[in-house]
Structure 1
Amino acid sequence: MSSAPAVAGRDRSAGTAAAVAADGRRARRRAPRRTAARWDPAVRERTALDRLRAQDAVRDPALLPLRYARMAASPWTHLRGAAAVMAADLASAPHSGLTVQMCGDAHVLNFGLWASPERRLLFDARDFDETLPGPFEWDLKRLATSVHVLADTERLPGGCGADAAAAAVEGYRTAMRRYSRMGELDVWYDRITADVPLRGLASDVAEATLRAVEERSRRRTHHGAARRLVADDGDGGRHIVLDPMKRIDDGLTRDERVRAYEQVYDSYLASIPPHLHRLVARFRRVDSVRQIVGVGSVGMRVWLHLLEGDSGRQPVFSQAKQATASVYEEFLGAGGFDNHGERVVVGQRLMQSASDIFLGHMRVDGHDYYVRQFRDMKVIPTGAEISGFLPQFAAACGHALAKSHARSGDPQAIAGYLGRGTAFAEGILGYARAYAAQNEADHRDLRTAIAAGDVRAAERGW
């Protein structure tokens, strides 16, 4: 196992906190804040479609038509699947040099709620497939752009996307200034609770929404998933129900599945803390299927395992998801890891206030994976669900992103770079507007390529 790399300088020998903030202000020379608004498609060395096709090699060819069908559905789904395209575009411009552990795919619906190990509902980023040390503003640019694109896709009133993107940036700036004045342990212990995305709503609306979210989280448990996804075999056994758009047969016999699971068990066990070995050992595998998940992950190797505790009363769904090179690795390096599953796990633990206790990694037949619980009171909203309070939700996303960046980077230096005025916000918001338009053009190009027969797409994506 490789050790986690240092993602940001924390050496205070050179001076005081004021000096560190001054370092942040000097970073404006490398990347002036208002120039962040610039986007010129002429700098692209490859087309967006070429970037997407380059990722086909690590995916199941049989699922590629489904991937492109989902991406073609709307500019929003295109943005979700085109993280590699945006990574190259972000890397084409100067950056601040202020390094944090990036989420790597900080779009607005990559934030949501789930229960901490203490069963408290928290709000945080959720997926970290692309995580890597890099410039803090790249995450924020993707967040602000995604808010614009989502507002346009949901056909919200004019100006709503811009207002929500501004709320995301201000949420980040305000939170980062607060973290810059806090002690290290206070930053590390900070939590964002389920009510934060609802702040600013009328009290009765906020209370009703929070109650609905809490009730939904209580249904999204392993027991709830078992009621929906599991059926009896008729001979006393149970199996996961297949669905051609979500869960498919892995092509293995029952005995082959058992051997495959036993083969990887020790590898996974070595990646989790020793005190959890006893807990994991109390579960046995009942069934496994392949999963088709998301938009950007379609075609990746993903397995869903149904486990059952020795008591016979506790089902657990465990998901093993393939981890490949981050889309930023081409521009930032591998980040010190030779196992991409480990990269994802370490990045997630570093960025989240509280992580899944089953989170681990392994390597199987030359492929890296990370492992997590499939359902653990997770509530991931849809675009339609947050459209009525998009600015408030976006502000909470900015807050959560600042919290994650403050844990791994230097909040005093970042706060110094951000400043108190509007220059930084103007730069990020200008970029978000321009890149939302670019994403729409890239989406049209994909649909044109599909219509011309240059790209194969399934008849339906979901």
Structure 2
Amino acid sequence: MAHEKKSKKPSRQAHHAKRSTRFPKSSERHAILNEQRRLKMARSPHAYVRGNTAQFYAWINESNGNSLPHGPAIWICGDCHTGNLGPVANQDGKVEVHIRDLDQTVIGNPVHDLIRLGLSLATAARGSSLSGLTIVHMMEALAAGYESAFSIKHRNPKLPDRPEPVHLAMKLAVRRSWKHLAQERIEDLKPTIPLGKRFWPLTRAENKAITEIFRDEAIASLPTGLRGRNDAGKVEVLDAAYWVKGCSSLGRLRYAVLLDVDGGVIEGDDLCLMDIKEGVKAAAPRYEDASMPRDNAERVVEGARHLSPFLGERMRAARMLDRAVVIRELLPQDLKLEIDELDKDDARAVAFYLAAVVGKAHARQMDPPSRRAWLAELRRNRSKTINAPLWLWNSVVQLASSHEAGYLEHCRRYATGVN
């Protein structure tokens, strides 16, 4: 990227007006995005699992809900599949594997995170043509990895050695720069967001609302708070677009915003890409007596601070167009783990490690007596044929069966257009 002083640039509206492509009106977005979501969910059983959080909890209640233990009341991810874990950077540049998506976070039953992760891993294993016996061993490793976070005295246990797929993701994460982020997320190094399949133009009301949001000092302090940036720098909105992103989030308000932090030279270190996502009601069930923020964006931020501190410190809740939104900067080091395929030699190690990550996020919220009591509960109800809680195994088996049937039916309906 050339190191030149900025000349006067055209307005975002003028930039968008140059495009001849016909983009959907704001009133048309929902129907188009819903079709895209259905298409993404039809790609594979694992994609169907990731995009079907609400149905996951419906199946939990129908099949095995009454037999599940009631764990301590803590913040849980609520949508703990493999794609929602991965390397995350904090404001000082340190990188660790954390839970990276907290849209569904609530104060609820920690077994829901463990079962959802088990289902995700089992589905990925079946998609990788691994044997049923390997999945049995993975569920044993899942239980052992999760329990490892509660079996020591301090609240911030060290994670086990990273298995190869996670190690490779971490190596990639720590080497990434703004250039990698720009090429991956917006496919462009220029200080604009190119409109197309991934990015749609904004309405005037959306443009105005985004400009107003970044005039708020609490929001503007997000990008200036990162190490190496001028904390007194001026924050300027260079460009913004509606972001067609995700699977379960398709259809919500979602925006990409390109900012310049210091108002001087346009360089990678001075540019940042902000993600604005609508906070909606969680599908994950909460404990009825739990006290949580009523505002959905504030709930997400509060859950992130407990479960994923690196991410939580980089998030803010706000209001936009009379809706709750969560705002965060996307850093080059933030990556999701691609566990759609598993190698037999890595399967158990991956299950152990990811369960330990989730266990650590849960354990840091409990005092020593609660951790001991929860560990004792986890070690109950074992059989001679599997070294894991039977409620975990039974839930994963029943849910895997239900999801496979649901996936095939989803594909039939999507292919034939039946609603």
Whether the aligned pair in 2 keeps the contact of 1:220 and 1:379 (CA below 8 Å) is: no
**1:145 to partner: Cα distance:** 1.3
Whether the aligned pair in 2 keeps the contact of 1:114 and 1:376 (CA below 8 Å) is: no
Whether the aligned pair in 1 keeps the contact of 2:150 and 2:371 (CA below 8 Å) is: yes
- 1:316 maps to 272
Structure 2 unaligned residues grouped into runs of 5+: 1-26
Q: Secondary structure at the match of 1:383?
A: coil
Corresponding position: 1:391 with 2:348: yes
How many aligned positions are there?
Answer: 372
Q: Secondary structure at the match of 1:176?
A: coil
- 2:357 maps to 400
**1:395 to partner: Cα distance:** 0.8
- 1:252 maps to 203
Corresponding position: 1:262 with 2:235: no
- 2:133 maps to 159
- 1:413 maps to 373
Whether the aligned pair in 1 keeps the contact of 2:304 and 2:312 (CA below 8 Å) is: no
**1:214 to partner: Cα distance:** 4.6
- 2:192 maps to 239
Indicate which of 138, 145, 158 corresponds to 1:171. 145
Corresponding position: 1:380 with 2:336: yes
Alignment partners' CA distance in 2, 1:324 and 1:89:
21
Alignment partners' CA distance in 2, 1:434 and 1:144:
12
Alignment partners' CA distance in 2, 1:332 and 1:387:
41
**1:112 to partner: Cα distance:** 1.0
Indicate which of 397, 402, 406 corresponds to 1:438. 402
> Structure 1 362/209 Cα, relative in aligned 2: closer, same or farther at 3 Å?
closer
Q: Secondary structure at the match of 2:292?
A: coil
Alignment partners' CA distance in 2, 1:405 and 1:160:
26
Measured against aligned partners, the alpha-carbon deviations of 1:243-273 in whole angstroms (never above 9, x if no partner) come to 41xx2223336xx665222322356826979
**1:122 to partner: Cα distance:** 0.7
Whether the aligned pair in 2 keeps the contact of 1:306 and 1:318 (CA below 8 Å) is: yes
Alignment partners' CA distance in 1, 2:109 and 2:274:
33
**Cα RMSD (Å) of the superposition?**
3.1
Q: Secondary structure at the match of 1:342?
A: helix
**1:241 to partner: Cα distance:** 2.1
- 1:325 maps to 281
Whether the aligned pair in 2 keeps the contact of 1:113 and 1:380 (CA below 8 Å) is: yes
Q: Secondary structure at the match of 2:389?
A: helix
- AA of the residue aligned to 1:419: R
Corresponding position: 1:370 with 2:330: no
Query: How do 1:280-291 and structure 2 match up within 5 A?
Result: 282-291=234-243
**1:331 to partner: Cα distance:** 7.6
Alignment partners' CA distance in 1, 2:311 and 2:362:
16
- 1:116 maps to 90
356-365 vs 74-83, which moves further: 356-365
Alignment partners' CA distance in 1, 2:288 and 2:406:
24
Alignment partners' CA distance in 1, 2:251 and 2:299:
20
- 1:78 maps to 48
Indicate which of 167, 177, 199 corresponds to 1:221. 177
Corresponding position: 1:426 with 2:390: yes
Q: Secondary structure at the match of 2:214?
A: helix
Corresponding position: 1:63 with 2:33: yes
Measured against aligned partners, the alpha-carbon deviations of 1:104-138 in whole angstroms (never above 9, x if no partner) come to 01112321112233323211211110000111111
Whether the aligned pair in 2 keeps the contact of 1:271 and 1:362 (CA below 8 Å) is: no
TM-score (norm 1): 0.72
**1:190 to partner: Cα distance:** 4.5
> Structure 1 441/77 Cα, relative in aligned 2: closer, same or farther at 3 Å?
same
**1:71 to partner: Cα distance:** 0.9
Higher helix fraction: Structure 1 or Structure 2? Answer: 1
Return the structure number with greater relative CO, CA threshold 8 A, min gap 6: 1
Whether the aligned pair in 2 keeps the contact of 1:83 and 1:327 (CA below 8 Å) is: yes
**1:357 to partner: Cα distance:** 4.0
**1:196 to partner: Cα distance:** 2.9
Q: Secondary structure at the match of 2:272?
A: strand
